[in-house]
Amino acid sequence: MRNLVTAIMAAAVMVPAATAPTAADAARRHHHYYYYHTYRPCHHSGTTGALIGGGAGALVGSAVSHGLAGPIIGGVGGALLGRHIGRHTC
């Protein structure tokens, strides 16, 4: 009975050591992470930023001036600013 318990304990100790990642696995994973985040360029068109910025700019322009020019100027300015922020944020 003692030999059986000893064999089970030895197997329980060896299984995690046999399945642990090696240094080569860690290096390979690190290299993939480095490649993906370093060499892959970030391409955003800025469409979402332009839509959100245009809507927010139109609301702000409408609150500042009560004529027709305020929301139009605010919408255009907000769209341009939102597009710029959307394209240059990664």
Provide the domain count of the chain: 2
Buried b (16+ CB within 10 A) or exposed e, 45-73: ebeebbebbbebbbebbbeeeeeeebbeb
Higher pLDDT, 7 or 27: 7
Higher pLDDT, 27 or 87: 87
Residues 35 and 61 in one domain: no
Residues 52 and 82 in one domain: yes
Residues 33 and 59 in one domain: no
Residues contacting 64, CB < 8 A, separation 6+: 70, 74
Residues 35 and 63 in one domain: no
Residues 52 and 34 in one domain: no
Residues 54 and 26 in one domain: no
Tell me, what's the pLDDT at 2?
72
Q: State the residue range of the domain holding 60.
A: 47-87
- Whether pTM exceeds 0.75: no
38, pLDDT greater than 70: no
